[in-house]
C-alpha cells in the first residue's frame, strides 16, 4: 500500500476538483483565516496547482509577493502556468521539512491539506516557524478522516474501503495532534475551527461527491481490492440515483502565530 502520488494524472484530476463548489468554499474560509494584507509576503507550503497563490496575489497586490513550495514538479508546473505574468510570484520544488526560504522572511503562511501527507509534520511546522517573521501568522487546514460518515447498504464493506483509503496518506487523523505539534514547533495563540462538509447528492460540486470516485480509484489499485472497490462504487451510485446518498466529514482550520 502506498501514499497518493501527486503526478501529472493527479494534477489533472485535482484541477477539476479544485473548481468545485465545496473547494471554493474552503479556499474562502482559508483566505478569511489568513487575512493577507496588501504588501505582505506569503508562503504557501504544498502550494499544489497554485489556486491559493493566484488568489493571494490579488490580495497582497503589486507591493506584496507569494512564494509557493511543493515537492511535486507536476503540481508546480501547473502553479507556474496559473501565475504566469506575476513577477511577484515564485515557486520552488522542495520538501515541506526543508523550505528554501530565509529565516523570518515571510509575514504569513498557509498549508492546506498537505501536512497529512508529510511523515514528520512537526518538522514541517518548525520550518514554517523559522520562515515567519516575529508576529507572523499561520493557517493549517487538514481533514480528520476518522470523521467521515458515509451511508451504504453494506457498512462493513464501506468500513474496509475507508480503512484501505486511510493508507493514501501519512496521518489519517492529523488534526487530533496538531495543537500539540504546533506548540512544540514554537507557535502561540493556537486556534481551531471545525467545518462540516456534508452532502446528500453524489455530484462533483460536493466534496463528498468528488471524493467517491477518487476513493474507488485508489482502493481498486490495492492488491486484491479491485472487486470490492467496484462493488462499493456501484452501491454508492445506486444510492445517489435513488436520492439516498449521504457523506459528511469535518475539516479543521488551525490558526497560530509566531511570538512577536
Ligand X SMILES: C[S@@+](CC[C@H](N)C(=O)[O-])C[C@H]1O[C@@H](n2cnc3c(N)ncnc32)[C@H](O)[C@@H]1O
Question: What residues numbered 12-51 form the site for ligand X, per CB under 6 A?
Answer: 18, 46-48, 51
Yes or no: say if 204 and 144 are a contact pair by the CB < 8 Å rule: no
Among 175, 223, 210, CA closest to 25: 210
Q: Does 95 bind ligand X (CB under 6 A)?
A: yes
Q: Give the number of residues in contact with ligand X, rule: CB under 6 A.
A: 18
Interacting span for ligand X (CB under 6 A) from 107-115, 147-155, 217-225, 239-247: 107-115
Report d(CA 143, CA 29) in Å as an integer: 14
When binding is defined by CB under 6 A, the residue of 71, 122, 152, 251 that contacts ligand X is 71
Interface pick for ligand X out of 57, 67, 96, 121 (rule CB under 6 A)? 96
The three-state (H, E, C) secondary structure of 56-78, written as one string: HHHHHCCCCEEEEEECCHHHHHH
Contacts of ligand X in 117-136 (CB under 6 A)? 117-118
Give me the least distance between CB of 54 and ligand X, in Å please: 11
Q: Site for ligand X (CB under 6 A): which residue of 65, 113, 158, 210?
A: 113
Give Cβ neighbours of residue 27 (< 8 Å, ≥ 6 apart).
51, 52, 55
Query: Residue 156: is it exposed, middle or buried by C-beta count within 10 angstroms (0-12/13-18/19+)?
Result: exposed
Task: List residues near ligand X by CB under 6 A.
Answer: 6, 18, 46-48, 51-52, 70-72, 75, 95-96, 112-114, 117-118
Amino acid at each position: 500500500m502506498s501514499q497518493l502520488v501527486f503526478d501529472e494524472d493527479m494534477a489533472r484530476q485535482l484541477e477539476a476538483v479544485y473548481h468545485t463548489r465545496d473547494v471554493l468554499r474552503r479556499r474562502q474560509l482559508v483566505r478569511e483565516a489568513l487575512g493577507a494584507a496588501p504588501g505582505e509576503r506569503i508562503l504557501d507550503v504544498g502550494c499544489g496547482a497554485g489556486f491559493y497563490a493566484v488568489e493571494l496575489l490579488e490580495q497582497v497586490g503589486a507591493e506584496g509577493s507569494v512564494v509557493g513550495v511543493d515537492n511535486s514538479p507536476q503540481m508546480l508546473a501547473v502553479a507556474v502556468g496559473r501565475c504566469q505574468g506575476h513577477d511577484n510570484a515564485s515557486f520552488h520544488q522542495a520538501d515541506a521539512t526543508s523550505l528554501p526560504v530565509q529565516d523570518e522572511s515571510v509575514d504569513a503562511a498557509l498549508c492546506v491539506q498537505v501536512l497529512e501527507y508529510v511523515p514528520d509534520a512537526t518538522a514541517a511546522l518548525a520550518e514554517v516557524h523559522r520562515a515567519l517573521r516575529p508576529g507572523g501568522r499561520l493557517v493549517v487546514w487538514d481533514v480528520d478522516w476518522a470523521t467521515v460518515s458515509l451511508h451504504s447498504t453494506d457498512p462493513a464493506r464501506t468500513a474496509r474501503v475507508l480503512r484501505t483509503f486511510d493508507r493514501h496518506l501519512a496521518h489519517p487523523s492529523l488534526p487530533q495532534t496538531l495543537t500539540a505539534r504546533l506548540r512544540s514547533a514554537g507557535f502561540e495563540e493556537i486556534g481551531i475551527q471545525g467545518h462540516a462538509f456534508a452532502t446528500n447528492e453524489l455530484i462533483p460540486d460536493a466534496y463528498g461527491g468528488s471524493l467517491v470516485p477518487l476513493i474507488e480509484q485508489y482502493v481498486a489499485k490495492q492488491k486484491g481490492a479491485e472487486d470490492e472497490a467496484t462493488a462499493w462504487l456501484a452501491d454508492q451510485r445506486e444510492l445517489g440515483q435513488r436520492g439516498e446518498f449521504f457523506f459528511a466529514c469535518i475539516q479543521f482550520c488551525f490558526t497560530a502565530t509566531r511570538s512577536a
